[in-house]
Chain A
Amino acid sequence: MSEFEPKIVAFFCNWCTFTAADLAGTSRLSYPPNLKIIRVMCSGMVDPKFVLKAFLNGADGVLIGGCWPGDCHYINGNMKARRRVALVTELLKQFGIGEERFWLRWIAASEGNMLKEVADEMTAKLKQLGPSPLQNKGQMVV
């Protein structure tokens, strides 16, 4: 049997983390193809609904990438994202999606290598954890 390949939905902020992904690419760094990157204007615009919908549709992990505190292009969007992530984590935890599946990371535009590290780390962690408990629940009331 082939190895389990986790599906990670990654919301990357346009100004820092997405640019870091760009830099990782132009620097010829390779990172796992498990990340499905969605470019958003700010980590602060990632609505809890986006995260919930990703998990309900079978994502094994969700990664939100934003600018470091103080570096937000919109001044404080990332700070709002952090509170929201704490809130959604509390909710997901109750029903069996632990914080190891839902990450928020600060990755600056210059940190292409950190993007690679985070992508490697999360993919490895999820491979170890196995598929999301929400996989293949076609009969479930979602």
Chain B
Amino acid sequence: MAKFAKLSFKKDELNKELSGFFKGMLENGAVNAVLAPMAQAKKGVRLSLVTSAAHTAQVDPFAPVAAVSGAKIASSLTARPSGRKVAMVLRPCEIRAVVELVKLKQVNLDDVLLIGMDCLGRYENTDFAKFQEQGGTSESFLENAQAGKTGMGDFDLIGACKICEFPAAENVDMRLCAIGSGSDSVFIEAVTSKGEEALEKSGLKTGESPAGRDDAVKKLVATRTEARDKKFTEYRAETNTFEALSDKLSACINCYNCRVACPVCYCKECVFVTDTFRHNGDQFMMWADKDGILKMPNDTLFYHLTRITHMSLFCVGCGQCTSACPNDIDLMPLFRTSADKTQARFNYQAGRSVDEEQPMAGFKSDELVEVTGQVK
């Protein structure tokens, strides 16, 4: 049975109450460090690694921004483990990417207390700066977003979040529950025994559960799923030929920012920066000769398609690719629509379970007979 601790807060004191929880965990030795979104000295909120209880005051987990995917940070911290216990406060998309990285042995959860926050979405970095300038806070965001008011002035949530059907985190030790928990409280839920132990050590009293949460989450998932299906239909109609797809990507400058930002682009060294793609001049001339013209840098569509073959099975739809593009190409729907098809083919869902084998990591002798259509 899940255990909940209720954190009631007065106006503008949500983060103060939350910092008390993290402070308690650090001081009582539940963990040695906390990785969580923290307010920066002047402006902005970034994931920070806190080892001193004094700094927990800056914690701001519900800030609607994620400058980089926390899954990549989790990989940096644990691929070669420190041996120290760390609580990681991450978004559901980041946690689903973590699940995939665990299977790729690029994240090690042995010393990690995984805390998933309820996520109503995020703004682009530049929009988050405007949000703060206009006086927006995590509290105001939680309240407005739950009332369906996510936009402010000339900006709104990123496209990925508007069609994300995973507002609540799974495969975690604890959850920070904000959806359907009322405007003056959030709940901390212990999901696993590891989580229960940590909640106990934090010093918070367990008690009532958030009555309206399940329904509120369900409702949000339904709205988002509907938006997702609509977006998929639209995007597929716009990209049903290679020519249409290449038009969508025409502004691409082969900077590869999308794969740097992608939490599940798992290669240690991308093939597109290796000697495989460092061609001699006469090779380019030969390609140009074929049609009399060659766009440079070349291999743009080839790069994106290759990336799909590599990461679409693990795509969690976080939208970091779109955020990273310096030329405002909306890449998220390309990878999400592709991922939808490829994951369905293998009855796989990125981030669903650590125990599910990644499709390209195995095979069965009696499967996929329809591929060749031959029976001996």
Contact residues of A with B, CB < 8 Å? 48-49, 52-53, 56-57, 68-70, 76, 79-80, 82-91, 93-97, 103-106, 133-134, 136-142
Interface of B is mostly: helix
- Contact check, B363 vs A83: say whether CB atoms are below 8 A apart: yes
Which of A104, A105, A142 is the one whose CB lies under 8 Å from B246?
Answer: A142
A89 to chain B, nearest CB (A): 8
Partner of A90, one of B241, B345, B376: B345
A76 CB contacts on chain B under 8 angstroms: 363
Q: 5 new A-B pairs (CB below 8 Å) besides A96-B240, A133-B242?
A: A94-B240, A95-B240, A106-B372, A138-B293, A140-B246
Q: A49, A80, A90, A136: which contacts B342 (Cβ < 8 A)?
A: A90
Q: Which of B242, B292, B365 contacts A140 (CB 8 A)?
A: B242
- Contacting pair B300 A142 (CB below 8 A): yes
Offer 19 A-B interface pairs, CB within 8 angstroms, sorted by A.
A48-B306, A76-B363, A79-B363, A82-B371, A83-B360, A83-B363, A86-B371, A87-B345, A90-B338, A90-B341, A91-B309, A95-B242, A95-B245, A96-B241, A105-B374, A140-B242, A140-B246, A141-B249, A141-B250
Q: Which of A70, A93, A137, A142 is B365 in contact with, Cβ under 8 Å?
A: A70
- B interface, size bucket: 35 or more
Are B341 and A142 interface neighbours, CB within 8 A?
A: no
A82-B368, A95-B242, A106-B374 known; A140-B306 Cβ under 8 A: no
Cα(A140)–Cα(B346), bound, Å:
32
Chain B residues with CB under 8 A of A103: 372
Nearest residue (CB) in A for B364 is: A79
Closest-CB distance, B353 to chain A (whole angstroms): 19
* Docked-complex contact A87 and B363, CB < 8 angstroms: no
Contact: A87 with B342, CB < 8 Å?
yes
User: Cβ of A94 and Cβ of B341 under 8 Å apart?
Assistant: yes
Q: Mark B298-320, 1 if CB is under 8 A from A, else 0.
A: 11111001101100110000000
- The 10 A-B residue pairs with the shortest CB-CB distance, nearest first, are A138-B291, A79-B363, A48-B309, A141-B246, A96-B241, A90-B341, A141-B300, A140-B246, A90-B342, A95-B242
Q: Does B239 lie at the interface of the complex (its beta carbon under 8 Å from any beta carbon of A)?
A: yes
B339 vs chain A, min Cβ distance (A) = 10
Q: Pick the residue among B242, B312, B367 that contacts A97 (CB under 8 A).
A: B242
Question: A49 with B306: in contact, given A94-B239, A97-B242 (CB under 8 Å)?
Answer: yes
B341→A138 contact, CB < 8 A: no
A-B contact count (CB 8 A): 118
In the bound complex, do residue A95 and residue B241 qualify as a contact, i.e. CB atoms below 8 Å apart?
Answer: yes
- Which of the listed residues B243, B365, B371 has the most CB atoms from chain A within 10 Å of its own CB? B371
Residues of A within 8 Å of B56, CB to CB, are none
* CA distance in complex: A137, B76 (Å): 43
Chain B CB within 10 Å — which of A76, A91, A94, A96 has the most?
A: A94
Interface residues of B in 321-376 (CB under 8 A from A): 337-338, 341-342, 345-346, 359-360, 363-365, 367-368, 371-372, 374, 376
B204 at the interface (CB under 8 A from A): no
Does B80 lie at the interface of the complex (its beta carbon under 8 Å from any beta carbon of A)? no
Q: Judging by beta carbons under 8 Å apart, are A52 and B374 in contact?
A: no
Q: B305 and A52: CB pair below 8 A?
A: yes
Q: Considering the complex, give the chain B residue whose CB is closest to the CB of A99.
A: B371
Residues in B whose Cβ lies below 8 Å from that of A137: 242-243, 246
Let me know if A105 and B372 touch, CB within 8 A. Answer: yes
Known interface pairs A82-B372, A96-B241; A52-B309 also in contact (CB < 8 Å): yes
Name the distance in Å between A75's Cβ and chain B's nearest Cβ: 11
Known: A79-B365, A83-B360, A138-B293. A88 touches B309 (CB 8 A): yes
Question: CA separation between A88 and B359, bound complex, in Å?
Answer: 13
* A85 in complex: contacting residue of B241, B295, B371, CB < 8 Å: B371
Q: Quick check: is B129 within 8 A (CB to CB) of the other chain?
A: no
Chain A residue at smallest Cβ distance from B293:
A138
Chain A residue contacts of B360, Cβ below 8 A: 80, 83-84, 87
Contact in complex: B341, A91 (CB < 8 Å)? yes
Q: Is the CB of B241 within 8 A of A142?
A: no
Chain B min CB distance to A100 (Å): 12
Return B340 CB to nearest CB of chain A, in Å: 10
CB distance from B263 to the nearest CB of A (A): 20
- With A86-B368, A133-B243 given, is the CB distance from A141 to B309 under 8 Å? no
Tell me which residues from 221 to 257 in chain B have a Cβ below 8 Å from any Cβ of chain A.
Answer: 236, 239-246, 249-250, 252
Once bound together, how far apart are the Cα atoms of A69 and B243, in whole Å? Answer: 37
Residues in A whose Cβ lies below 8 Å from that of B338: 90-91, 94
Contact residues in B for A106 (Cβ distance below 8 Å) = 372, 374
> In the bound complex, what is the Cα–Cα distance between A96 and B229 (angstroms)?
20
A83-B368 contact in complex given A90-B345, A94-B338, A136-B291, C-beta closer than 8 Å: yes
Chain B residues with CB under 8 Å of A142's CB are 246, 295, 298-302
